[in-house]
Chain A
Amino acid sequence: MITSTGGGELLLEYLLNPSVTSILVKGLPGTGKTTLALELLRIHGKGGLYVSTRVSKEKLEQQYPYVKDLIEKGKLIEIHQLKGVEGGVEFEDLRFGRSVDIIKSMLQTITKFKESLMILDSWDASAKELDIKERLRIEKSLVGMAEANKAKLVFVSEEPYLTTTDYLADAIVTLKDEEIEGRRMRRIEWNKLRGAEIPQKSYLFTLHGGRFRMFQRTEAGRPSEIEAKPFEPMIHSKARYSTGSRDVDDLLEGGLRKGSAILLEIGKTVSTDWQLPLLVSMELNFLANDGCVVNTSYAGLTPCMFKDVVANHMRKDIVESMFRIGHYEEFRPDPCFFMLDLLSMDKSFERLWDEAMKVRKASGRPCFIFIDMDTGGLIHSEDDIIEYSLKLSLKVKQFDDVLVLKLEENNEGKQELSTFCDKHIKLDVIDGTLIMYNVRPPSRVYVVGYDHSRGYPRVELTPMV
């Protein structure tokens, strides 16, 4: 007997709303159906039954270590203390059983635990042995029994086509294991839901750590109730500069290598709000480690707005002495701003490098240089800006600086830039969720989260597993 644990994600709780008695979880083998069903059990938190027709109890415990934990703890009162859960979960091994045994097991659970949740994994293994009329009768009966006892029923199925269960179930989700640019992408598709409105058709999810975690729409901005606070630096290593995020450092194999150039590719639907915290986190960490930062203007932001984002989390004297933004239009006088030349790429490049040398002199430390290739390409020619970026990348190597080149995915210079940059990373949005991965060298996909709880943006990455 196990006791399920509470907590979980808001979106999954939709599946457990009072209007839903029966849930159908569909998907091909390996898509995460069992993990989702077990997660529902945990969120439901009122005990239940896991009926396995495919996997032995031992194998399940092996694959999901927390199941064993739940089984053991369910027999003890401390489960109630630990998780605030009543009841327990029973495990029934019905690999060789029949539909009769499934109903029997369910009945016994219903009478033992009120409002329990029962998982039939997988239902189709038993149901396909029945003729269609008998199958429908049994399903109706199971749902009727569940309704009468305020229980919930999870049918797990590998049948890709429409079946009687599809018509009967109050909620249907389909799990998909897809591939995008050679990388795994897991999606949950909401096909039917009684009693609640789901804002979008599909969401990304991961099975990282053997748990089912679904991702909501990425929130990039700092919540209004959280006050802006000074950035707490992460220390650089001997060979690499920290990005201010342990996760991003890991993605970059320890951080930004000294003297390296990074190409940051931005997907078409990634708004500035979603890009900015990643860059700002890197720049803040540079400043907080006595480094200096020189930028060209950022598409979609005025220099004032760009500066404010950084200044919210950094001492004024540091910003004024170590942080620079080059721009093409006249703005109010500000020690952080310098003019680039609209007509000459040569002059713009010279001014940018001069500014880097000036601030470097003040700090005596290396510089983080950021160039928005799309803005530069609009003002000068794309060929010019690529040529100067290449020159800049050589200077950066010489001074142990870091160069970050940002461009949109449809920028024609992408291939060329990708070959001379040390790393090529991409930010994109899928199903409203911000993702990030290394294009070169290739990596798996990570879901990007911005944690503002400390009063400044901290980038967190969750692997898509």
Chain B
Amino acid sequence: MGEFEDKILMCIDRGLNHLGETVKYVIFWHIENTFGLKRDKIPDKPEEFLRGLEGMYGSGAKIIEEDIVREIIDEFGIEANGFIEAVRKVKKATDEHGHQRTHS
């Protein structure tokens, strides 16, 4: 797992902490159980993570998503509208940063 995935997962963890440790654990379990999406693969498939949350909380999932996005914005200093966009922007920025480092 790379630096990008690590940091995104930390932001997700912090965002979900508002729900408590037990619920956070069950969310990861549910998403893996329903979509076969393991916790460390969430940064690759943010759409499925959101679908899992919506399956559990319906429109309430939006509040959880906002908590996570706020953590990502704080961590990476980006502007983003929603979890999927935030993850993509961070990924792109990380890729570009890595690419620049390789060429320099």
Contact = CB atoms under 8 A, between A and B. Distances in A.
A148 B52 CA distance: 12
B21 A134 contact: yes
Contacts of A140: 19
A133 B60 CA distance: 20
Contact of B60 (A130, A138, A144): A144
A130 B54 CA distance: 26
21 contacts: A100-B25, A103-B22, A103-B26, A104-B26, A107-B56, A134-B22, A137-B19, A137-B22, A137-B23, A138-B22, A138-B23, A141-B19, A141-B23, A141-B26, A144-B56, A144-B60, A147-B58, A148-B56, A148-B57, A148-B59, A148-B60
Interface string A137-166: 110110011011100000000000000000
Contacts of A138: 20, 22-23
A100 B25 CA distance: 8
B91 interface: no
The secondary-structure label for the interface of chain A is helix
B7 interface: no
A9 B66 CA distance: 43
Nearest to A141: B23
Contact of B56 (A100, A130, A145): A145
Interface in A75-111: 99-100, 103-104, 107, 111
Query: Which 4 A/B pairs are nearest by Cβ-Cβ distance?
Result: A148-B58, A137-B20, A141-B23, A103-B26
Contacts of A141: 19-20, 23, 26
B19 A107 contact: no
Contacts of B61: 148
Contacts of B36: none
B60 A99 contact: no
Contacts of A145: 56-57
B98 interface: no
Contacts of B55: 111
Contacts, number: 49
B20 A134 contact: yes
B21 A107 contact: no
B94 interface: no
Nearest to A108: B33
A147 B22 CA distance: 19
A140 B57 CA distance: 11
A103 B23 contact: yes
Interface string B78-90: 0000000000000
Contacts of A130: 22
A362 to B, nearest CB: 78
Nearest to B56: A145
Contacts of B54: 148
Interface of B: 18-23, 25-26, 29-30, 34, 54-61
Interface string A112-150: 000000000000000000100110011011001101110
Contacts of A99: 22
Contacts of B20: 133-134, 137-138, 141
A171 to B, nearest CB: 20
A100 B24 CA distance: 10
Contacts of B58: 147-149
Most-contacted residue by chain B among A100, A148, A149 (CB, 10 A): A148
A145 B23 CA distance: 11
A111 B22 contact: no
B33 to A, nearest CB: 8
A127 B60 CA distance: 23
Contacts of A144: 56-57, 60
A100 B22 contact: yes
Contact of A107 (B22, B25, B26, B60): B26
Contacts of B59: 148
B39 to A, nearest CB: 15
Contact of B29 (A104, A137, A149): A104
Most-contacted residue by chain A among B18, B20, B30, B59 (CB, 10 A): B20
A147 B60 contact: yes
A103 B54 CA distance: 16
Nearest to A133: B20
A133 B34 CA distance: 28
A144 B54 CA distance: 11
A147 B19 CA distance: 16
A107 B20 CA distance: 17
A359 B35 CA distance: 87
B84 to A, nearest CB: 20
A145 B55 CA distance: 8
Nearest to B21: A134
Nearest to B64: A144
Contacts of B60: 144, 147-148
A120 to B, nearest CB: 14
Given A103-B22, A137-B18, A137-B20, 7 more contacts: A100-B29, A103-B26, A104-B30, A133-B20, A138-B20, A144-B56, A148-B54
A133 B26 CA distance: 17
B82 to A, nearest CB: 19
Most-contacted residue by chain A among B25, B29, B60 (CB, 10 A): B60
Contacts of A149: 58
